[in-house]
Structure 1
Amino acid sequence: MSILLGWPFHLVNLFTLPFPQPWRFLLRLAGYPGVIALMVLIVLGVIYGWRSQSFDLRRIHAMPERTIIYDRLGEEIGRIHGEKRSIVPLKDVSESFRKAILAREDERFYQHGAFDVIGIGRAITKNLQGKREGASTITQQLASDIFQLKRGDKGVFLRQLDRKFLEIAIAIRIEAANDKDQILEAYINQIDWGRQIKGVGEASRIYFEKHPAELTLSESALLAGIVRGPGSYNPFTSIEASERERNTTLARMVDAKVITQAEADAAKQEPIEIRPVWRRHYKESFAMDIIRRDLEIILEAEDIELGGCEIITTIDKRIQEVAEEALEKKLESVEKLSGYQHPTREAWLKIPEMERREPGYIQGATVVMENRTGGVLAVVGGRNANESRFNRATSAFRQMGSIFKPFVYLAGFDKGIKPSTPVSDGPLRPGEIKGGGTWRPRNSDGKFSGEHPASYGLIRSRNTMSVRVGDFAGVDYVAKVAEKVGFDTPMPKNPSSFLGSWEATPWEVASAYTLFPNAGKRFRPYIVSQIKDRDGNILFSTLPIAIPTAEPTSAIGVSRILEEVASSGTAASVKRLGFDKPCGAKTGTTNDFKDAWFAGFTSTLTCAVWVGFDTPKTTIQRGFGSTLALPVWVDVMKTADRLGYRAGKLNDNSGRVVTMEICQLSGKRATAGCREAGTTRTDVVTPDIALPENDY
């Protein structure tokens, strides 16, 4: 002890006192290297202890794990953020695995501190004998892995030495702040098992399709063996190498007396059975794109990065898949039409990947919403999310064409027009339309006729009649209605807007159309229903938000007309293609066939479909909404009805409206002659504006 405390004086005496006897000199000289070594260790301890303080130990237990996304039925549809990991408490891991990992990585884990002097001595001895053995404890490995201390030190001795000292210093801090079980739990959830698999939870699931609590002795030993070389010893890379490491682990367990030789022999006889590599594949979808966007708004950045959440969405995976398939099927058939003159997706896929640009082939979008909640069941923003990240469902603002006309009639009904009110289908006269100047739009068939009930103008999508209805309501009021129904872009206040010359997204169109089956109210669309943290606590929950949007009688009146559009008007192909349930719908086609639209609803769902090019151009000659978009809608809604989203009777009157049979030619109450001529129709109006019973 005196040598340790008085080493400076001894050092001075050594060189200042008379030369000592040889044996005393040698004795003193032998003691000084030990003293110097001790002082070096003290200095190193201070330096590395100080450096270790810059590492945040909270990261030990804050390991990023995947956030799992579920559809409304509990079906997993994706994983985002974090790492490929699922945190598992130590108590939920099989005893055989705990024994295996300790026997293989740190047999004396519960007997030593941050580093193991005996283990270091044993490793030095083995290495001198030409055998390879590491000396890092589990705590040291945890420190190195969490803080990525090995990065950049490969093959450089001084860097390796520096890293080792820092590793020990951090390990000492970890041991001081955590008990052994906490450290072991962090370790088994942190370590790498190859193929970007982090933690025993994911390793058990991916390799054996089971929970860590269910691991057998053989499986436990195999996983413990993989840790020694995740890239080389995992069974996906080499069954033989993983079997060899498993058997080595079993031998270590016998040596450590945690299992018997008989148990080890039995485990060695078990064949290595692993699940097929990467059985679960997640198809990238535009729905996931919206979910990611919403999470950035809902959650703090730190919560997103750490992951470990469960996200319950309104998506129905079955309908999402059908919507994707229906759109692709239709657009593939368009590209195969004789005389089709645009680039095709098939040709684009043949271009070498490094030479591909943003795809120029025909695109489309589909949005499906639940009427009574606003929940989004499916959203398709293009033909393939991997080929183009642009989400056309939410971000492509395209001219609406006739798809906007129902809202013009909604405004007209608010202002006093009835479905039976006579409106001229004749040519527009210069100056007739306020603010229109010499603008004189024609009907799509180039024909004009006399007066018809207002409802006829929507059923047959007559431009001249629709403009006159909009003019009656007033451009300012139509713009106000457009804003109320959910179109974010202000409607330009000119008469051409009555015919949908302005732009909206498929998402907006679908949301706006939900007011018709909802008797004038719509629900704010949403896709994230609930978020739970890793402990099951609810972090966020969405309640449907109803937005009163239109007068119920006006909305029901337009809805009934749209039912006739689907049964005998421009959308009559709905029935011909096999959807015979109650529905209302409207087609839309813009100038030169650049955009094709179809929007429609049943009592439960509303769906909007758009087809066109990212850079507007003619799709095909006579590329109407009824030709390009309607078939996609039918495929989606037929499947939805079959899956339980039943299409029932639309708009229960509940005493708010009455029906009356009128003559389409006179706009008056129908007579027997009208019925005989087949010119009758049923109007839905409020009792106060119903025509008198004898008004023929």
Structure 2
Amino acid sequence: MRKGFWLTLILLGIIGAVSGGIFAEAYTRDYRLRAGTYDLERINELEEPSIILDRNGKEIGRIFVQNRSVIPIEQVPEIFIKTLRAGEDSRFLTHHGVDYIGIVRAGILNAQGGNQGASTITQQLARNAYNLKEEAKQRKETTIQRKLVEAFLARRIEDRYTKEQILNFYLNRIYFGSGFYGIRSASLGYFGKEPMKLTTEECASLVTLIKNPNARSPLNNPEVNRTGRNYVLGRMREEGFISSSELARLRALPLRLNSQPLRRGTTHLYERIAEAVGLALGEDALASGKFKVHTTILAEAQNAAQQALLDSLEKAEAQPGYTHPKYRDYRKGSPKPAEYLQGAVLMIDHDTGEVLAHVGGRDYAQVPYDFIELGKRPLGTAFFPYIYAAGLSGGQTPASLVEDEPMDNRAVMVGGREGILGEWGMEVSSPVYEGKIPVRKALENSKIAATVRFAGATGLQRVVDTAVSFGLPLQKAELLPRLAVGFEEVSMKQAVRAMTTFPRGGQSGPEKLVYLDRVENSQGRVVYRRQRQPQPTRDVIDEATAWQVHSMMVGSLFRGSSKGVLDGMLEKNFSGAGKSGTTHDFADTWFIGYNKRVTCGVWTGFLGNDGAIYPGAFGRDLSMPVWQKTMNAAAPSFGGGQLTPPDSVVEVNVCTVSGERATQFCQQHEENVNTGMIQSRSTAVGEYFRRGTEKLPFCSIHSGGTSEGGAPDITALNLPALDAVPVRPKEPTLIGDDPYHTEVPSFAATSAEGGFVRHRTNVLDSLDLTDIEDGIPLPRPRRLQIDDE
């Protein structure tokens, strides 16, 4: 009877096992079949790139998660392997991909309220290499269903690869938090050392990250990491890898970090885009790859800026006076720092803040430093527009006169302490001083001494306050004359934003620069889309002042220090403007300019204070050509449109010599060196005045002026078209008092003693005064006295 009972029990057990096996076979068949579809040859494809597209859908690059450095298993210390086994998979060397004992143990612990996982190293590799979590989400599968696929795939991996190969794949792939992928990246990122130099407690700190990389990161949560580290050390004692005394010593050690992470070897632009994606989607978003990142970049402008900058810097290094290290002589991996000439280009849509081109440096692989994001250098003469904006908003006009004469450098104290202040802003080797000149001419020709005097007349505090309103960081600038030559340092972003105020009619430019438009995942679903909301603006200067400064910068392109740039512009009838910039020591050059839609800035120089690029390195030679080519590349998409004067300004003809209202006699006579003939040219030009300030006296130089005593001066007469012969009267022309206070025309000749002289009658007959508003300006009338004798 007893024997029959046991036979029956055994038979039932066999039947149950067979039935369970049949059920398990049927239930797991689909998962086993799926596990057989994965290509094991691709197990070590560590990442798939995300595609970067420009604003028109053109591919401009690919982002890889490149803060990962693959190393062979031989460069991983044995103590790390032991720590990994203790913390993650103690039976790694004996199981065949799935640890059934570990599964039972985890089930018991979880039933008791624990939270114990049972995935082996091989299962984790399968999950990460083939992105099984994401696949399970798409299939809407449970965790158990996903783990079945993992288990079957892990068995295939164990059939194909050795334990050493599996460890090698795993350690170079696994994510350790804080953006560090793979054992070498994590070792450098947290402890600043190669993996072979890791200590036991440091290994434990890294292993505890595997279960929850971000939450346990020692950079983010050091105490959480230390707690997890000590747990792993305890597991090492349980496995017999360390002694009890060693466990106590290691647990008592503090957490010592020395972060020296790997840098991603991409480009300055890609870094900005990756950063923007990280802010939008999380720092780990790009790790899975396969994104399509739609940016605001204009590929044509980006490529043109990059190439034009490289060409300009190479040309500078070929100059006879260039004595610094050269880019072509530097070798990657050299222990010496790359101290060759650098440059940067930033172009933005000044209404939306969209970045069209971003070139942060010459070669990211050699110098990852992004000048646009991190650098600051003096603006030099590119600072001048803000000085003149301060003066014009304070009541001066483009026709106001300023003295253009040599100035002792001790008044400014830049460069040398003695001698005459240089005129490097004119971008010529032999500047000419012209005495009293209109403010327009001073800015158009970027005259140094005249601008320093203008700043002094305006008031240095007013100049600083105006610059700060433009967004330039001069709050703590010393009120010394040197600030008038662009002595203070600014960033590229600040310089470009400040310049946007002029084409925007005095309104501030965008505070926030935009790189991303939208991001699509591998299935084409939009996972991020920027909110297209207008950026808030503020009044910086009035629109009249903005237009006046703009018009003077326009003049610089036609006849001033930037003359010639328009010759190569693709956009004809160019209505934009710009300003070149050179520092007193020729160490930095700039060109910042705009059209109706975009503003572009270019800088060349050294990241350190290394002196002159070469003697006479002007902005027009190094930065202006780069700006021109970048603007040309953007012209088909962002060209066209006209900047027009606001209603708050009125145009008046003024004489460029006197700064006063022009007449038909405002002419200069020049001898033609080829023919010897005297030629005349008009000195009258249209000038913009704030409405209400346009009432000017007529030109006192070309239409009759006054002597020092205030009387009309015949030497100032310039009437080449008039047949006039001055006659000096011996007696007064009027007898007795002049009861009507008769005004004598200002163009009447005078004697040296101040008496008036008479013109021949045909002189007055020949004058056409019908077009002169309010008559010709006249001297103060005075009565003639009659002697009693």
Structures share fold, TM-score greater than 0.5: yes
Question: Structure 1 299/162 Cα, relative in aligned 2: closer, same or farther at 3 Å?
Answer: closer
Please state if 1:626 is matched with 2:620. yes
Distance, in Å, in 2 between the alignment partners of 1:656 and 1:668 is: 20
Aligned residue in 2 for 1:95: none
Aligned residue in 2 for 1:287: 269
Please state if 1:74 is matched with 2:80. no
Kindly state the Cα deviation for residue 585 of structure 1 after the two structures are TM-superposed.
1.4
Please state if 1:166 is matched with 2:102. yes
Aligned residue for 2:348, secondary structure, equals strand
Aligned residue in 2 for 1:485: 470
Please state if 1:669 is matched with 2:661. yes
Please state if 1:611 is matched with 2:604. yes
Distance, in Å, in 2 between the alignment partners of 1:339 and 1:622 is: 9
Aligned residue in 2 for 1:588: 581
Distance, in Å, in 2 between the alignment partners of 1:469 and 1:295 is: 47
Aligned residue in 1 for 2:563: 572
More helix as a share of residues: 1
Contact 1:425 1:448 in 2 (8 A): yes
Aligned residue in 2 for 1:258: none
Contact 1:517 1:602 in 2 (8 A): yes
Deviations 1:350-389 (A, max 9, x none): x3x4334431111111111113222211111111222211
Kindly state the Cα deviation for residue 471 of structure 1 after the two structures are TM-superposed.
1.9
Please state if 1:688 is matched with 2:692. yes
Contact 1:368 1:377 in 2 (8 A): yes
Aligned residue in 2 for 1:598: 591
Aligned residue for 1:593, secondary structure, equals coil
Question: Structure 1 320/474 Cα, relative in aligned 2: closer, same or farther at 3 Å?
Answer: same
Q: How does 1:235-634 map to 2 (within 5 A)?
A: 284-295=266-277, 297=279, 300-301=282-283, 311-338=293-320, 340-348=322-330, 351=331, 353-428=332-407, 441-444=421-424, 445=430, 447-488=432-473, 490=475, 491-521=477-507, 522-531=509-518, 534=521, 535-536=525-526, 538=528, 540-545=530-535, 546-578=537-569, 580=572, 581-616=574-609, 617-634=611-628
Distance, in Å, in 2 between the alignment partners of 1:539 and 1:645 is: 23
Kindly state the Cα deviation for residue 547 of structure 1 after the two structures are TM-superposed.
3.3
Deviations 1:498-552 (A, max 9, x none): 1101111222211111111111112224123445575535564252313322211
Contact 1:153 1:160 in 2 (8 A): no
Greater shift in the superposed pair: 518-527 or 621-630: 518-527
Q: Which entry has the higher C-alpha Rg, 1 or 2?
A: 2
Letter in 2 for 1:631: P
Contact 1:403 1:597 in 2 (8 A): yes
Greater shift in the superposed pair: 516-525 or 382-391: 516-525
Deviations 1:217-272 (A, max 9, x none): xxxxxxx9999679999xxxxxxxxxxxxxxxxxxxxxxxxxxxxxxxxxxxxxxx
Kindly state the Cα deviation for residue 632 of structure 1 after the two structures are TM-superposed.
0.7
Letter in 2 for 1:74: G
Kindly state the Cα deviation for residue 493 of structure 1 after the two structures are TM-superposed.
2.8
Aligned residue in 1 for 2:248: none
Distance, in Å, in 1 between the alignment partners of 2:49 and 2:532 is: 22
Contact 2:412 2:482 in 1 (8 A): no
Aligned residue in 1 for 2:25: none
Distance, in Å, in 1 between the alignment partners of 2:103 and 2:474 is: 58
Contact 1:153 1:159 in 2 (8 A): no
Aligned residue for 2:497, secondary structure, equals helix
TM-score when normalising by structure 2:
0.54
Aligned residue for 1:393, secondary structure, equals helix
Contact 1:528 1:542 in 2 (8 A): no
Deviations 1:115-156 (A, max 9, x none): xxxxxxxxxxxxxxxxxxxxxxxxxxxxxxxxx999986996
Question: Structure 1 83/331 Cα, relative in aligned 2: closer, same or farther at 3 Å?
Answer: closer
Contact 2:278 2:285 in 1 (8 A): no
Kindly state the Cα deviation for residue 567 of structure 1 after the two structures are TM-superposed.
1.0
Distance, in Å, in 1 between the alignment partners of 2:664 and 2:401 is: 20
Q: How does 1:184-223 map to 2 (within 5 A)?
A: none
Distance, in Å, in 1 between the alignment partners of 2:607 and 2:625 is: 21
Question: Structure 1 347/673 Cα, relative in aligned 2: closer, same or farther at 3 Å?
Answer: same
Letter in 2 for 1:604: R
Deviations 1:642-693 (A, max 9, x none): x32114322x224222212211111012222335534233212222111355
Contact 2:649 2:688 in 1 (8 A): yes
Aligned residue in 2 for 1:140: none
Question: Structure 1 201/425 Cα, relative in aligned 2: closer, same or farther at 3 Å?
Answer: same
Aligned residue for 2:337, secondary structure, equals coil
Distance, in Å, in 1 between the alignment partners of 2:154 and 2:50 is: 25
Deviations 1:378-425 (A, max 9, x none): 111111222211011232211111000000000101100100011111
Distance, in Å, in 1 between the alignment partners of 2:650 and 2:294 is: 42
Letter in 1 for 2:648: R
Letter in 1 for 2:514: I
Contact 1:583 1:647 in 2 (8 A): no
Aligned residue for 2:686, secondary structure, equals strand
Match of 1:659 among 628, 651, 656: 651
Aligned residue for 1:290, secondary structure, equals helix
Contact 1:566 1:583 in 2 (8 A): no
Kindly state the Cα deviation for residue 163 of structure 1 after the two structures are TM-superposed.
3.5
Aligned residue for 1:358, secondary structure, equals coil
Deviations 1:425-456 (A, max 9, x none): 1245899999xx99974433565331111111
Aligned residue in 2 for 1:177: none
Distance, in Å, in 1 between the alignment partners of 2:160 and 2:448 is: 71
Kindly state the Cα deviation for residue 74 of structure 1 after the two structures are TM-superposed.
2.9
Greater shift in the superposed pair: 523-532 or 297-306: 297-306
Aligned residue in 1 for 2:36: none
Kindly state the Cα deviation for residue 306 of structure 1 after the two structures are TM-superposed.
7.2
Q: How does 1:18-29 map to 2 (within 5 A)?
A: none
Aligned residue for 2:346, secondary structure, equals strand
Letter in 2 for 1:571: S
Deviations 1:625-654 (A, max 9, x none): 01111111111111211x32114322x224
Question: Structure 1 158/410 Cα, relative in aligned 2: closer, same or farther at 3 Å?
Answer: same
